[in-house]
Amino acid sequence: MEKAKNKLFNSVIILSVVHIISIWGLKSEAAMDFYFPYIAVDLVLCLVFLLYYQLHWNINALLFIFFTFCSGFLIQAIGVNTVYNVNNVFYGGYPFGPFVYGAALQPKVWNTPLLIGVNWLILIYCVGLLLKNLTYTKVQKSLLGAFMLVLYDIVLEPIAKKNEMWYWLTKKDPLSKYNPVPLQNYAAWFLFAFLMLLYFYNAKAKLRNPIAPAVFLIMFFFLVALHIF
């Protein structure tokens, strides 16, 4: 038991150090050119640790991972591929609003980074487990989790635009880092997060993971730190 706790603690330390290095890489002009190709390494490492610490593997757990990844990727792919331009005014981007992915997240399929599916999987998985033992109904936990993920996206958006992850499109300057985020983006995030979390709580997948809460907190405070420093 003590060995397992030490192993878990060491894993949390590794993830924390990687994210601290990422803060340095994203904030330092001298390091940015070196760091840019590896901008998503912390996200990939989070996924590796989560898969490693998943306690019970069965067909339902595999199906949850597969469908959550695919759902997250497909809704973003639909969004980016339904943007259209009429007289230099952008429309569509259903259901999030008109946007386009930048160069930071590679590789892409259908103009959409595969890591976007990974991001949705990590967030739903971690928040689902974080709230799993609360004495609320499945619907209430799903609503609370969806609200948490909207807050997460609010913190994420300025950093994503600044670091060429994606851009919101406007008439004046389509690829500006300062374009406002449409409110429908947050509404769509809430809706899809709620539906995915509802699936999480009804999947019968025996999802248990001691590192999941720490992963979510590390990712969230990583974003907060990027705003502060």
| 177, containing H or E segment | none
Reported as a single tens digit per residue, the pLDDT across 183-216 is 999 999 999 999 999 999 998 888 999 999 999 9
DSSP letter at 102 equals -
- Give the type of residue at 208: R
Reported as a single tens digit per residue, the pLDDT across 134-176 is 999 999 999 999 999 999 999 999 888 888 789 898 766 666 6
More confident site: 95 or 175: 95
Residue tagged 């992963």 (tokens): 215
**Max CA separation in the chain (angstroms):** 65
pTM: predicted TM-score of the whole model, two decimal places: 0.93
Q: Are strands 89-92 and 99-101 parallel, antiparallel or unpaired?
A: unpaired
Q: Helix, strand or coil for residue 108?
A: strand
Boundaries of every domain in the chain:
2-228
The pair of three-digit structure tokens given for residue 87, joined into one six-digit string: 């007289």
